[in-house]
Structure 1
């Protein structure tokens, strides 16, 4: 008689209890795609954030300059508003 299907081998008691414990405690037997992607991203972050000249130029252009510009504009508008309402020049300092 020819075998028409693959015969499944039964797991031992120790392996079966491990699987049941994983299911009972919320562990999954299947890999979580999102966690795997996050782990890969985290592992690659060492390569992406090299502290070299290019990184600091990018940090300055995208981080410090816009906030400094925003502060300068808002400070001028705040002084104009304080002057309109009759507050002294050094009221907030």
Structure 2
């Protein structure tokens, strides 16, 4: 990935997941630049939030069950009732 300038907040069919929009890039001078158009709240809060656009319920439940045993401090949010 090439990072040359920050992007604004975006939410399109191509980027339906706010968490994956967070990037860390080398600034070319030994430092790093971070971009988080949707903020850092979920990242630093260790929140796992379902996204029905990206994966079906069964995939989310399977992954979060595995992740919760590996990282018990995760805050795993339930699947939305409207998408059961």
Q: TM-score, normalised by structure 2?
A: 0.26
Larger relative helix fraction: 1
More strand by share: 2
